[in-house]
A and B are shown apart, each in its own frame.
Chain A
Amino acid sequence: MATALLDLPEKEYILPGTRTCAGCGLPIAYRHMLKALGPKTIVTLPACCLTILHGMYPKTPVLVNAVNNVFGGTAASASGLVAGLKALGKDDYTVLAMAGDGGTFDMGIQALSGAAERQTNFIYVCYDNEAYMNTGVQRSSATPAGAITTTTPVHPKEQPKKDFIQIMEAHHPAYLATTCSSYPLDLYDKFSKARGISGTRFIHLAIPCPAGWGYPTKDTVKIGRLAVETGVVVLYELENGVFRLTGKSLNLAKTRRKRPVEDYLKTQARFRKMTPEQIEAYQKAIDERWEGFLNRAGL
C-alpha cells in the first residue's frame, strides 16, 4: 500500500536554516527520506550540495548524525561506519551514504563498486542534478547530451548521460530503485522499504536544480514532474530480481500518455542550443528505453 500524505510521520529531521539555494530540490527529498529512515540513521557525505544543506560549523539544521568525508570516498566511509558499528554491537543503525552525480558517476564509482561487491549493509543514494552544481555547474558524466554547462559553454555536451543505474544493477544489489524529489510519497515508500532490507541498497534520486538548469526557482516541483512525465526519469524498483514501475511512471505506462521530451527541454535554459535533430535523437533514445521498461514490467 502506498503511503498517503496524511500518514507521513510528523517528526521533522531538517530544521529551518539549511543553506541550499532557493528552489533546490534536495531538501524536499531529504526531508522525506529522513522521515522514512528515522533518528537512528547515520549519514556519510562527501563535499557536495548536501554539505551545504548540513550547514557550517558549529551549527547544523539536520537531526541525524552525520560524517563528512572526502569526495571520492563516500561508500568507503559508509563501509567503515558499518564495520565500526558492527564491531561495537550497534547493529540497529541505518547507514546512509549520499553523494551527488559527480561523487557517484565520476569520482565515487570505485569506492561504490567495491562496497556493493562486498554486499555492504548500507543504503547508497546518488542524488543526481546532472552536473557539478556545488562548484558552479561543470559537466559531469551524468550531464545529458545537449546541455550547456560552464565547461561546455559554447558547444553543449555531445555525449549522452552515463547509464549508471545499469552499472549498479550489474552489481546485483539487494534493492535498487529510482525516484525523484517531485514525488515525495514515491520516495518515502522506497526509503521505507529500503530501510527494512539488509544488504546493499542503491537509490537513484533525480533532483532538479534551478541554478544549474536555468529555470525559475518556483518551478522545481514542476520540472521534476515533467522529467517523469516525458520519460527522461523513470520511477521503478528492482527487488529480488523483480522489476516494477511505480507511481507516475506506472500510471504513464498504463495510460500510454508519456509526453514529448520537448515539453521538458524547452523549460530549461541549459538546453537552449539543442538543434531539432538533437531533440529528435534524444526523443528516440527515451522511447527505446521506455519500451524496454514496458517489456520488463510486462505492460
Chain B
Amino acid sequence: MGAKILTGNQTAALAAKLCRVQVIAAYPITPQSKIPEVLSEYVESGELHAEFVRVESEHSAMGVCISASLVGARAFTATAANGLAYMHEQLHWAAGARVPIVMPVTNRGLGAPWTILNDMQDSIAQRDTGWMQFYCLNNQEILDQVILGYKVAERLLVPVMVCFDGFRLSHTMMPVDVPDQEAVDEYLPPFRPAYELDPERPVNINPVVMTDPIPGVDGRLWPGYMGIRRRLQETLESALDVIAEEGRTFGARFGRSYEDPLYRYRTEDAEILFVTMGSLGSEASEACDLLREQGVRAGVVGLRLFRPFPVKAVAEALSRVPRMAVVEKAISYGLEGALATEVKAALYGLNGARPIAVNFIVGLGGKDVKPVDLCEAARRTLSVESHGNAPLHPVWLSNEI
C-alpha cells in the first residue's frame, strides 16, 4: 500500500482492519472517539467483516471483548482516561482470563478536575493489571505495535495496551508506511484459541478457585489461585524474549525492527540521558540536538515497553552514563513518577554504576512540553554534583502559578 498521511487514530483503526479483528466493542471518549468511528465505517461499508458492538460503557466494552475472545474471536477495543479507569475491574479479569485482546489507549489525563488533554496517568495507573503495555513514539509505531501486539498477545495469551499520546499523536497527521494486507496476513495468521467450544466436553471458565491445589476427576492436582496467577507472571517474564523475537521477525518482513525495547538517540557518548516514554522521545531528541550544539553531550532513551519492564536493557543503557533526567507525564502521588522509580530499581545492585537521577514531571493535562523546557531539565540535572545533592522530590516543570 505504501505511505499514507494519517492521524494516530486513523492509524490505529487501519491497523485493526489489517489484523482482521472479528469483534469490536467500543464506547466514545475523547481523544479516542475517531477510532470506533473509522472502524464503524469499515464495517458498514463491508471493508471489514466484524461484529461491531456499540456498548453503553467502557466496562461493557471490555466485558464484550473478554467473552468474544473466550469463544475464539479476535477482539478489539480502544479507550482513554476515565474510560480506562472505568474498565479497571475488567482489565484485571481480561489478564486473569488470559484473553489476547489488543487495545489502543489514547493517553489522557484523569479527572478531577476535568481535562480532555494528554498525559499518561491513565495507562500508568493500570500498570498492575497484568496487561502488557507498549508505548508509541509516532504514528508509524501505532500501526506496527497493534500488529505486533496481536502477534505477541496470541502467542502468550496476555492482552496488550498500545498506548499513544492523546492529540499529540491521536489527532496529528504523519506519514505512515502501511503494509499490504497479504503481508500482514502472512505475519499474523487467524487467531486459534487454546480451547475450542465443545458441547460434548463442557467447561466452567474462570470459576471459584481455592487457595490450595485440588485434585480433578483425573486424580491429579490442579493449581490454586496463586498457581494460576504465578503462571501469568511467568508468562510476562518470558514476554521480553518473545517480543524481541517477534519484533525481529517484524523487522525482517516490514523493515522496522522492534527487537530493541528501547528507542535510542545519540546515546553512545552521552554525559546526560533523557529517559522517557511515548512521543516525548521526539521532543527529547530535538532537545538533544540543541544541547549538543551548545557542547552538552545529551542522548535519549525511550521505553517502548513498560510491562513487561525491560530491566536488563534499561540497566545496560543507563549504567555507564553519569546523569539522567527521567521525564514523564504521570506521577505516583506521594512519591514520584513511576518510570523514575522503576528505572532506578533496574539499576539497583550495580555497585555504584548508577547515574545521578532527577525526575521531571511534565505535560500533565496537555501542558505543552517544548524542547527548550527539556534543555532546562538537562541543565538542572547537570548542575547536581553528587547523588547526595539530587532533589528528594520530583521537579514539576510547568511554569505554573
Contacts and interface: CB of A to CB of B under 8 A. Distances in A.
A58 B214 contact: yes
Contact of A59 (B55, B66, B216): B216
A55 interface: yes
A80 B61 CA distance: 9
A70 B216 CA distance: 25
Contacts of B65: 80
Interface string A51-71: 110111111101111111110
Contact of A51 (B64, B71, B197, B207): B207
B204 A73 contact: no
B57 A84 contact: no
A90 B93 contact: no
Contacts of A67: 67, 70, 205-206
A68 B67 contact: no
Interface stretch (A107-115, A151-159, A281-289): A107-115
B78 interface: no
B199 A65 contact: yes
Dominant SS at the A interface? mixed
Interface stretch (A36-44, A196-204, A222-230, A258-266): A36-44
B214 A56 contact: yes
Interface stretch (B46-54, B123-131, B175-183, B313-321): B46-54
B170 to A, nearest CB: 25
Given A44-B67, A76-B64, A117-B56, A84 B207 contact: no
Contacts of B68: 80-81, 83-84, 87
Nearest to B70: A67
B64 A80 contact: yes
Contact of B59 (A52, A56, A73, A113): A73
Given A57-B210, A87-B51, A87-B68, A65 B202 contact: yes
Given A70-B89, A114-B60, A57 B53 contact: no
B121 interface: no
A86 to B, nearest CB: 6
Given A84-B73, A110-B56, A111-B60, A66 B66 contact: no
A299 to B, nearest CB: 38
Contact of A70 (B63, B75, B199, B205): B63
B204 to A, nearest CB: 4
Contact of A69 (B51, B56, B66, B198): B66
A42 B209 contact: no
The CB with the most chain A CB atoms within 10 A, among B22, B64, B208, is that of B64
Contacts of A77: 63-64, 66-67
A73 B90 contact: yes
A103 interface: no
Interface string B198-224: 111011111111100010110000100
Contacts of A73: 59-60, 63, 90
A80 B55 CA distance: 10
B57 A111 contact: yes
Interface string B99-127: 00000000000000000000000000000
16 contacts: A39-B199, A57-B207, A57-B222, A60-B204, A65-B202, A66-B203, A76-B60, A77-B64, A79-B55, A80-B65, A84-B69, A87-B23, A110-B57, A110-B59, A111-B59, A114-B57
Given A51-B208, A66-B203, A111-B59, 17 more contacts: A68-B206, A77-B64, A78-B67, A80-B25, A80-B63, A80-B64, A80-B65, A83-B23, A83-B25, A83-B64, A84-B67, A84-B69, A87-B49, A88-B73, A110-B57, A110-B59, A117-B56
